[in-house]
A = this chain, B = another copy of it.
C-alpha cells in the first residue's frame, strides 16, 4: 500500500497572504531576462562589469583567511559581523570624514537587506516613507512588500528639492526619508552640499531619520567630492554601504552605519532573520582590504567606468536628436534620459529590442508609476565598441520617432 493510499485524502491547497501574492516580480529582472541574448547590446543592467572583479585576489584572500583564522573563518560568528572587519571599516569611514566607531556598524547580507531591515526598524505596515522621485526600484519593492506607503519629492540637477521634502513631511508625516544621495540610481544625480545640509535640518526639525543608500559613492570620475550626509549629519543619518559596486556583488556584503541604539535594535532583527552575514565572505573582504588592495582596485574601476561614461556621453551628444535631455553624472553607473512628454520609453524599448539594443524604461522607478518618458542607461558594463554601436542605433531610432 502506498503512502497516498494509506493517507487517503488528497493533497490540500494552501493559502498565502494576499499582499504576497499580489507582489510583482521586479520589472528590471524581467527586462534582464529579455536582454541576456549575446547579440543584444544591453545598457539595461544594474550590474557592475564582471571583467573587473579581482578574481585571483579573492581566491588568494580566501586561502589566507582560512590559513589565518582556520575553523573560525567558516564557523558561526557575531550577528553584527566579524570584529576585525568592523574595526577596519570604522577606521576607513572615519578617515573619510564621518566619525564612526565599531559599535555604529552592523554587517548585512548586502545593501538590499540593509534597506529592508532599516525599514522594518523604523516603520510598521501602513506607515509612510519619503523618497526621491524617481528612486531605486529595489527600495520600492521593499516598501511594497512591507505594506508601506510612499510619497516623494522631485529632483533637479542638485538632487532632491528640499522645499518639496518639507511640504511632504508636513502633509504625510513620513517615518523615514530614503535617499540615494550620490550618483543616484536611476538618474546619476548627486545632491549638492547645500541641499544635504537642508535635508539634515529637516530630519532634525521633524525628528525623521534620513537613510542614505550609498552604493555608488566611491565611484567619482569627475568633479569635487561632496561631504557625505553622514559626515554632515552624524547621528541624524543612517548610511547603507555595500561592496557590490566596489568589489563584487556575489559576496553579498554590506553594512549599516547608525547611532549605537539603532544598531542594538537592528541586531535583534538580523539575528532572527538569518543569524549573521556569511563568515568567510567577511574574512575575504577583510583580508582584501587589509592587504591594501581595495583602494587601488577602486581607482582601476573608476578609470574604466569613467572612460565609458565619457564615451557614452560624447556618442549621445553626436547621435541623439534635439528634444532629448540627459544627465551628465560625475560618477556611478547610470545616466538618465528624458524624452519629449508624448513619447513612451516603454514603446521605445520594444522598438529598440528589435534593433538588439536594450535599456530600462523609467516608469518602475516612480513610486506612482506616472512618468512614462524617461529611461536609464548603464554606461559601465558594455564594451567601448558596443557603446558606440548601441548609442548609434538608439540615436537613429530616436531620430525616427521624434
Mark contacts of A268-281 with chain B using CB atoms, 8 A cut-off: 1 yes-contact digit, 0 otherwise.
11011111111111
Whether the Cβ atoms of B234 and A11 lie closer than 8 Å is: yes
CB nearest neighbor in B for A16: B265
Q: How far is the CB of A234 from chain B (nearest CB, A)?
A: 7
- A232 interface residue per 8 A CB criterion: yes
Contact A205 B71 (CB under 8 A): no
Q: Does any Cβ of B come within 8 Å of A110's Cβ? A: yes
Cross-chain contact of A113 among B53, B207, B273 (Cβ < 8 A):
B273
- On whether A252 and B276 interact (CB within 8 A), knowing A47-B75, A121-B17, the answer reads yes
Find chain B residues with CB under 8 A from A327 CB: none
Q: Does A250 contact B (CB under 8 A)?
A: yes
Chain B residues with CB below 8 A from A207, complex form: 12-14
Nearest-CB distance from A311 to chain B (Å)?
21
Closest Cβ–Cβ distance, residue A338 to chain B (whole Å): 28
Q: Which residues of B contact A122 (CB under 8 A)?
A: 14, 16
Assuming the A-B contacts A265-B16, A278-B109, are A235 and B11 also in contact, with contact meaning beta carbons closer than 8 angstroms in the complex? Answer: yes
Whether B55 and A7, one on each chain, are in contact in the complex, defined by CB atoms closer than 8 angstroms, is no
State A51–B74 Cα separation when bound (angstroms).
Answer: 11
Interface check A300, CB cutoff 8 A: no
Asked if residues B59 and A71 are in contact (CB atoms below 8 Å), the reply is no
Cβ–Cβ < 8 Å partners of A268 in chain B:
20, 23, 25, 145
Q: How far is the CB of A205 from chain B (nearest CB, A)?
A: 6
Chain B residue, CB-CB nearest to A265 = B16
Which residues of chain B have C-beta atoms less than 8 A from A281's C-beta?
278, 280-281
A72 to chain B, nearest CB (A): 7
* Minimal Cβ-Cβ distance residue in B for A196: B3
How many copies of this chain sit in the oligomeric assembly? 2
- Indicate whether A218 reaches chain B with its CB closer than 8 angstroms: no
When A55-B70, A58-B74 are in contact, do A20 and B275 touch as well, CB less than 8 Å? no
A368 contacts B by Cβ under 8 Å: no
For A279, list chain B residues within 8 Å (CB): 249-252
**Chain B residues within an 8 Å CB radius of A59:** 62-63, 66
A256 vs B203: C-alpha distance in the bound complex, in angstroms? 41
The CA of A272 and the CA of B108, in the complex, are separated in Å by 14
Q: How far is the CB of A200 from the nearest CB of chain B, in Å?
A: 6
Known: A7-B197, A268-B25. A250 touches B76 (CB 8 A): yes
Residues of B contacting A201 in the complex (Cβ-Cβ under 8 angstroms)? 6-9
* Residue contact A272 to B121, C-beta cutoff 8 Å: no
The complex places the Cα of A144 from the Cα of B120 at a distance, in Å, of 15
User: How distant is A56 from chain B, measured CB to nearest CB, in Å?
Assistant: 8
Cα distance A321–B35 when bound, in Å? 71
User: A112 — which chain B residues lie within 8 A by C-beta?
Assistant: 272-275
Asked whether any CB of chain B lies closer than 8 Å to the CB of A248, the reply is yes
**Chain B residues whose C-beta falls within 8 Å of the C-beta of A138 in the assembled complex:** 275
Q: How far is the CB of A165 from chain B (nearest CB, A)?
A: 15
Q: Does A287 contact B (CB under 8 A)?
A: no
Determine the chain B residues whose CB is within 8 A of the CB of A232 once the complex forms: 3
Q: Chain B residues near A74 (CB, 8 Å)?
A: 50, 53, 55, 58, 248-251
A209 within 8 Å of B (CB atoms): yes
**Candidates B47, B63, B274; contact of A252 at CB < 8 Å:** B274
Give the residues in chain B near A141, CB-CB below 8 Å. Answer: 271-272
| Pairs A–B under 8 Å by Cβ, sample size 27 | A3-B232, A7-B200, A8-B201, A12-B203, A12-B207, A13-B207, A16-B121, A17-B123, A20-B121, A20-B268, A23-B272, A25-B271, A47-B75, A50-B71, A50-B74, A55-B66, A55-B74, A76-B244, A109-B274, A109-B278, A112-B272, A116-B274, A141-B272, A145-B272, A250-B278, A274-B274, A281-B281
